[in-house]
Amino acid sequence: MPKLVLLSSATLDEQLSRATPALIRWILLRSASHVYRDLVETEAFLRAQGDWVSTVFIKPGGLSLDVQRGHALSLTEEKSPLSYADLAAAMIEAATDPDGRWDMRNVGVISVNGPAKSPPGAPMCIFMGFVRHYFPFLHPYLPSTGPG
């Protein structure tokens, strides 16, 4: 059976994001509302296709441009921030698991040797996303933000 590995978000999973304060989660869900809506629809579609394609739903928390520190996969938690290198290694591990333990499951990723550095641009990125959610007409006038 074919297998997909979908990069999603722990923010969408009650279990994986239970350590995130409710207010922070509420802000995050609005700051990237269009992305999260797309992910919810994509996940629902892929879960409905489970009879012919298997999917692993990788759900990290916050991501950072940092060095690889080591990772672990989890069905119950995530630890943020996580480096992109650790995320990539986790996705490969989940995809190549010979027993299919992660198939059709929400999978968190833990940085096992301490968290990655907090991305310095994250607060501005979240704030700009929040503004775009409530005032979409301002989009052409707002700065682009992202990893860095």
Residue 142 counted as domain residue = no
Residue 104 counted as domain residue = yes
The residue written with tokens 């509420």 in the block is 26
Residue 140 counted as domain residue = no
Are the CB atoms for 142 and 128 separated by under 8 Å?
A: yes
The kind and range of the H/E element at 72 are strand 71-74
State the pLDDT at residue 98. Answer: 94
Distance of alpha carbon 67 from alpha carbon 95, whole angstroms: 22
State the pLDDT at residue 147. Answer: 63
State the pLDDT at residue 145. Answer: 87
Structural domains of the chain, count: 1
State the pLDDT at residue 104. Answer: 98
Beta bridge partners of 74: 108
Range of the domain at 105: 3-135
Coil/strand/helix, residue 1: coil
Digit-by-digit pLDDT tens for the chain (148 residues) are 899 999 999 999 999 999 999 999 999 999 999 999 999 999 999 999 999 999 999 999 999 999 999 999 999 999 999 999 999 999 999 999 999 999 999 999 999 999 999 988 899 999 999 999 999 999 999 999 876 5
Residue 144 counted as domain residue = no
Coil/strand/helix, residue 124: helix
Residue 147 counted as domain residue = no
Residue 23 counted as domain residue = yes
**CA 20 to mean position of chain CA atoms:** 13
Sign of dihedral through CA atoms 22, 75, 84, 12? negative
The CATH number of the domain where 105 resides is what? 3.40.50.720
Residue 108 counted as domain residue = yes
Residue 78 counted as domain residue = yes
The kind and range of the H/E element at 37 are helix 33-48
CA angle 102, 106, 108 (to 5 degrees): 90
